[in-house]
Chain A
Amino acid sequence: MKKGVLIIGSGVGGLKASLEVASRGRQVYLIDRSPFFGGEIVKIERQFPTNRCSLCQMLPTTNRAEEGEYCLRRDFYHPLIELIPGAELTAFSGDEGNVKALVRTKARGVQEELCTGCQRCIEVCPKEVADEFNCFGTRKAVSWRAPQPIPPIPAVDWEACTRCGKCVEICPTGAIDLQMADAERELQVRSVILAPGFDEFDPSILTQYGHGRWKNVVTSIEWERMVSPLGPFGERMKRPSDGKVPEKAAFLLCVGSREHRWDFCSAACCMYAVKEALLAKELQGDLEVTIFYMDLRAFGKGYERYLEQAKAKGVRFVRGRIPRLWEDPQTRNLILSTFEDGHVVKEEFDLCVLATGQRPPRGSAELAGILGADLNEWGFCKTVDPAGVATTRPGVYVCGSFSEPKDIPDTVTQATACALKALGRERKKIPRPLGEGERVPDEEPRIGVMICQCNGEVSRGVDVEKLRGAVSGRPGVSAVCEVAALCVQDQAKGVLGEMRKQAVNRLLICACSPYWFRRRFLENAVATDPWLIEWVDLREGVIHAHGHKGVQQKAEAMVRMAIERLRRKDSIPARFASVKGSALVVGGGLAGLTATSALADRGVEVHLVEQEAELGGVLKAMPDKVEFLAEYVKGIEGNALVQVYLNSEVTEFRGQAGDFWALIKGADGEREVGVGTVVLATGAEEYHPKAFLYGKNKRVITQRELKKGLVSGAVHLEKIRSVVMIQCVGSRDTEHPWCSRFCCTEALENALVLKSKNPELEIFVLFKDMMTYGFKERLYSRARDAGIIFFRYEDREEIRVQGTDRLQVVSPEAKLDCDLLVLSTGVIPNRENQSLAELFELELTKDGFFKEAEVKFRPVDALREGIYLCGGAHSPRTWQEVIQQGEAAAQRALVLLEQERLLAPHVVSQVHERRCSGCGLCVEACSYGARIFDEEHMVAVVKEALCQGCGVCTSLCPNGAAFLQGYTEDQIMAMIEHAV
């Protein structure tokens, strides 16, 4: 067994990295310092820019781990991921490929194998402490941080615990052990991924904002808990001081970022403040929300439109960093000074939310010390590779905010690229998919019903004798028995033995909610096909949910329904789909080259198609990237696994993931290729400005032309006394409502180079919002320190440029004479995108870039299985981000390509060929491309290995020719009849 990967931190980054590594068949050890997994994301119910949660979309789409298909906030499972809660790294040695890590697990106080999740210990614990998860209110010394956490086992907070022992007494299985010792474990892995996340900046040290003193000043995460349905107030906006519903709320940005001590930008705050404002307005339509900001950093994909949406919904944006707040001691309202119509005015608010920045988490410096990874001046982890995932210690990779504050889409992309790097270049063909059960020959169903008493919980509400009576003797039922606690191994084994004696071939378990202990039970029931085990939730679903009325009747109805479903279930033999192990990369620019080399280095045959006569795309024109590009190209041209097609295009395309067919047309003929996956890296186009005398006056150039000119000498610095730069030319306007992301950085870099060559040079930058997110903020401070002068403008139409030789730039704020006008132009979608989208059956976003499956959690996947997006085809990016995306796309492709065969899961849709009328509606309805239409036989066909099991195709099939395994018409209609 090849060595696995140790992943430290179970937030978004850690979860994604774990799933990526596990999807490639490697073992993952996921540790988190907290006894509960999930990191900060579990505190945040909804994310921008969809204002909804889609965390579960991170789960794999092929070789799905069916036992883990559940809300990712409540349950996390993959057969190759071992969760080690409450664990920290204590020692580390070795090199890439061969690492020894010593992990110390803090005693949980509760033994996982014995806990039944009854919560009695939490109820009787006498000690209350501040609840750091829900931020307001208290929790007990033995508790869990949210209902149904991961894992659903309470933990003892040793600092708060008084050792009174009440919990030990009340626990029905004796699971609590206050003498439990910490444990140490040595793990031998090939590499480590660091994903410790961030700590929210604690604004109480900025006393001018009054956090910690004034109740109605809250941080953004506190606000998230306030409005969470599971939070202290339920899904209502209430002020902490008096519970009043606020009418006017203020959001203050850049609290703890962008100042002397912390000269970086926390990247996500602008957007999450807008999200919180929008969610606040959703919850309470008449709420007036004002966001006070310095620069509105809406630099990501779809963010500008999101911003416009917020403005349209009435969120008020006021530019200006608020220096301080005052509290009215009577009303507890907050007052601040702001600027309106040229006057200073005071405004009063019921509630004030501080958009606090991100900090390296507590203890991360020590952790980095153990790992030998260098940190920067603020304690964030340094990266040394072009993709930005490798730390200074070989074998240790980093993702998420610990490397640089960032938002979720960037974290997820980085985590994916991390997984690629962490697995090195070893090529592993996963020989056999996981999890095949014993096939039960088609026989009469003989159901064994096991009623779990849950240590008396169940009989609190249900008359078990009656239930037993109602079940025995029903058609299909051959044995009924009761058990005190099924989740306890000995009891489970005992009762299973009983069942086996009675030749039972299907099991019906009446116990708690399946996602608590079903897997624990399955570990004991190894000989039975999990598909033939049905689970009825009597505890959470009936007893804890209802008073007394109707409980018995409901319990009996639920059990009857489950029997009807189980009777009609048959064992499904394993079905496989083959996967062609080669890839098609469309586009030979930086993104395409990165993906190609990542794939070819790992033994994948790649067909690289490039429209132009040379590889390189936009990079070719970059004077400072010439060597970099040359190396890449050399590597690729020298690799026997890569077939490069220059002057070529893909003209025809069809098939499904694992088996695509493409026709490549070049100058010298056509070639058909069969591939398993496609990486779309067709790039974006540079915007050519039409205004500001560009093309008419040779003193007007773009940033790229400036760079080139400085290297070639075409730009003569000696003759220039003043330079003006205009930002957002061709971006963030009505025709191009997106930010091109790299232009502010590019402009500042160029400006600093100019200044360094000639400090006397006058440089003026006209900008809307300075998009120097993350550590790029430093560039901005340095630029200001160097004497570069910045002027804001609101509408580009207001800027005029005149002059025949020397130019004069006129904006509402200034009249600037200059010798050189540099336009910061962004990118626009490639003009071929529409026809490419039709060819590959993909969708485009409103802006014209390719649409990914999910903005935050599946950023480089297209919804159609097997196709991945990176680079300018996806959205405007900086060079490093393009490389990261290219590697992420390669990782995603490898998940598919490394399979010898794909195993089809159980819950997939199927076709009754005889009944299929060939109408094709099901094929149209499938968003994943898992269904195709067989023209020859006029029937629909499902590639089960790609099917996600949503059932959308089956619900529109009129006669059930399309049916969903496990949810057939037969089963559901029988369940309906027994429900009433």
Chain B
Amino acid sequence: MPYTKDQAKKKRDEEDKDDTKIIGFFCNWCTSTAADLAGTTRKEYPASIRPIRVMCTGTVDPVYVLDALVKGADGVWVSGCDLGECHYVNGNYKARRRIGIIKTILDVLGLDSGRVYLTWISASEGPQFAAWAKRITEEIAKKGRNPLADKLTT
């Protein structure tokens, strides 16, 4: 029997629900520009990426990454300027330490530190942004849904 409109909507919603969702923290200067460029030059990448523009990767508080995972994001992708290129000179070096702490915590607790990515994508690297988006989506999709996403406890 064909689906009714409501059933079809429900099915679509469920499918959507199961799609991989990756929260991206992209720095205003380099990676956001690269993301814009990817769009401008029609370099397609998966819609799983939900970007949050921050001024610098150094703005990313560890609690954001942890919150994203606890609230059910399948992956977190932090990306900023190449080392040595940061608009604020050394924000990305500091970000690296913060992400290092987070990954270590996730590792020890067995919450899959492989779901957190830190990349450096320069402003002109539109194609690289798209390539990373594809790769990260694939790798995270392979891992399956974030086990924390369906738990009662957050």
Contact = CB atoms under 8 A, between A and B. Distances in A.
B82 interface: yes
Nearest to A535: B53
Interface string A555-568: 00110010000000
Contacts of B64: 972-973, 976
B84 A51 contact: yes
B153 to A, nearest CB: 16
Most A-side CB within 10 Å, residue of B47, B71, B127: B47
B124 A230 contact: yes
B33 A951 contact: no
B89 A954 contact: no
Q: How large is the interface on A (under 10, 10 to 19, 20 to 34, 35 or more residues)?
A: 35 or more
Interface in A46-82: 50-54, 56-57, 69-71, 73-74
A372 interface: no
Contacts of A235: 125, 127-128
Interface stretch (A191-199, A248-256, A539-547): A539-547
Interface string A22-49: 0000000000000000000000010000
B23 interface: yes
Contact of A955 (B28, B36, B38, B60): B60
B42 interface: yes
A950 B33 contact: no
Contacts of A952: 56, 58-59, 88, 91, 94
Contacts of A69: 28
B71 A976 contact: yes
A525 to B, nearest CB: 21
Given A50-B85, A541-B39, A544-B40, A71 B29 contact: yes
Nearest to B54: A967
Interface string A72-100: 01100000000000000000000000000
Given A229-B127, A951-B58, A74 B73 contact: no
B119 to A, nearest CB: 14
Given A547-B44, A553-B19, A952-B59, A537 B89 contact: no
B98 A955 contact: yes
Contacts of A513: 36, 39-40
A976 B68 contact: yes
A716 B135 CA distance: 76
Interface in A258-302: none
A554 B37 contact: no
B71 A969 contact: no
Contact of B52 (A543, A907, A976): A976
Contacts of B85: 50, 52-54
Interface in B97-126: 98, 122-126
A694 to B, nearest CB: 40
A541 B47 contact: no
Nearest to A50: B84
B50 interface: yes
Interface string A528-552: 0000000001011111111101110
A515 B71 contact: no
Interface string A906-932: 010000000000000000010100000
A811 interface: no
A964 B52 CA distance: 15
A229 B128 contact: yes
Nearest to B23: A979
Contacts of A979: 21, 23, 50, 52, 68, 73
Interface string A363-380: 000000000000000000
B82 to A, nearest CB: 5
A128 B84 CA distance: 39
Contact of A980 (B23, B33, B59): B23
Nearest to A545: B39
A541 B38 CA distance: 8
A648 interface: no
A973 B38 CA distance: 27
Interface in A948-980: 948-952, 954-956, 964, 967, 969, 972-973, 975-977, 979-980
B44 A557 contact: no
A956 B98 CA distance: 8
B146 to A, nearest CB: 9
B59 A955 contact: yes
Nearest to A558: B50
A977 B50 CA distance: 11
Contact of A148 (B28, B40, B42): B40
Contacts of B125: 229, 235
A70 B33 CA distance: 8
A784 to B, nearest CB: 40
Interface string A483-519: 0000000000000000000000000000001010000
Most A-side CB within 10 Å, residue of B43, B50, B56: B50
B55 A951 contact: yes
Given A56-B29, A147-B40, A234-B127, A980 B61 contact: no
Contacts of B58: 950-952, 955
Nearest to B17: A553
A50 B89 CA distance: 12
Contacts of A543: 39
Interface in A410-449: none
Given A70-B28, A547-B44, A952-B88, A53 B122 contact: yes
9 contacts: A50-B85, A52-B83, A71-B30, A235-B128, A549-B47, A557-B50, A952-B94, A972-B61, A972-B64
Given A550-B19, A951-B58, A964-B59, 20 more contacts: A45-B122, A52-B83, A53-B123, A54-B85, A73-B33, A228-B124, A229-B126, A229-B128, A515-B36, A544-B42, A545-B47, A549-B19, A553-B47, A853-B89, A950-B56, A951-B59, A952-B94, A967-B59, A976-B23, A980-B73
Top 7 nearest A-B pairs by Cβ distance?
A951-B59, A540-B39, A550-B47, A52-B85, A950-B88, A952-B58, A979-B50
Interface of A: 45, 50-54, 56-57, 69-71, 73-74, 119, 147-148, 228-230, 234-235, 513, 515, 537, 539-547, 549-551, 553-554, 557-558, 561, 853-854, 863, 907, 925, 927, 948-952, 954-956, 964, 967, 969, 972-973, 975-977, 979-980
